[in-house]
Amino acid sequence: MPTDSIDSTLEDLEARHRREKRDLVTKISALKRTVPKGDKRKKKEVSSEIAALEAELKDRHNAEIKDFGASTADSSVSLLADAVASADLVGEGKPKNETADDQEHQPDVSRGLYASNFGSQAKLPGAKKNKAKLRQQRKAEEMKRMQEEAERDAENMVDVAAIESEAIANLVAKDGLAVHEIRADGHCLYSAIADQISTYHGQPADFQTMRKRAADYMRQHRDDFMPFMVTDVGDMFDEPAFDNYCDRIESTADWGGHQEITALSHALETPIYIYQTGMPVLRIGDDDYASKDPIKLSYHRHAYGLGEHYNSLHKVDKQE
């Protein structure tokens, strides 16, 4: 999920990323402890959830680093312009707008007007300010140089999103499917499932309906979900935390994941298949509802800057 943290420096961003990685390790450890010994089905579900959590964190970190570089470069260019415009270096001669009258009233430093009683010349007023401007200017120039290097590197980078999109298209084509684009607005999982229900199961549906179905099922079967859910610091969910989580499913644009997919599979009594690159098709609810025509979605890690997106998969012979 997107973070609300504001990182003023790259060091702040990296520090938060390290904390989030440690938190994820704690969360994964807690999830593994919830698997009963010998329960292969639960182990498979937890393994899938762990893989999704790791992929989500990695993709979000990469996106945040990329976004941070772009934002700092924009501010640095402005900073450089201000620094150059206001620079007033000591010893560089008469200022541009200085008049003869101004020169006449300038202190004669050579005669010791600002000299100490011991004959040594004191620092001119504004010297510290000028040094700060110089440091600011050098920093801005360095940031501009780094941004230019990043832009040159970006020109030579592989378009990961395009490669992933092509790979998914080829993957689903083997099963007679094609990607049907869903709007990326935080509701994509629920909108994609609603599209499948409306298109292939004869029931009108929208994302609000799917959110409510998921939240209601989780509330009614909390014992099936709470043992697998932990807070950001790795603590097991208590009742208030779980209730708040379900409320947010129903009333916000929070992204959906493995828990919500599982809940909707049971609520709709329909298997849900997730196609993604580098992994076999994830089949949720297949054991319980094998006789039902499955809902089929594609999961994209790199389609958008946010790093996670679900699309609906249509049969190729479907008239769009």
**Contact (Cβ atoms closer than 8 angstroms) between residue 161 and residue 154:** no
Any idea of the CA torsion for 271, 300, 234, 30, to the nearest 10 degrees?
A: 50
Tell which residue, 141, 268, 260, 143, has the closest CA to residue 196.
268
Given 188, 246, 266, 300, the catalytic residue:
188
Q: Quote the CA–CA distance of 134 and 3 in Å, as a whole number.
A: 35
Q: Quote the CA–CA distance of 46 and 48 in Å, as a whole number.
A: 5
Q: Quote the CA–CA distance of 132 and 21 in Å, as a whole number.
A: 37
- Residue 88 is among the residues annotated as catalytic for this protein: no
**Contact (Cβ atoms closer than 8 angstroms) between residue 171 and residue 240:** no
- Residue 309 is among the residues annotated as catalytic for this protein: yes
Q: Quick one: how far is CA 102 from the chain centroid?
A: 56
The residue assigned the tokens 């800057």 is: 305
Given 180, 258, 300, 309, the catalytic residue:
309
Given 39, 102, 185, 232, the catalytic residue:
185
Q: Quote the CA–CA distance of 246 and 126 in Å, as a whole number.
A: 59
CA distances from 69 to 75, 138, 172, 194, 305 (A): 10, 18, 35, 37, 14
Q: Quote the CA–CA distance of 298 and 79 in Å, as a whole number.
A: 44
- Residue 238 is among the residues annotated as catalytic for this protein: no
Pairing of strands 177-180, 272-275: unpaired
List residues bridging with 180 in a β-sheet: 312
Active site members: 185, 188, 309
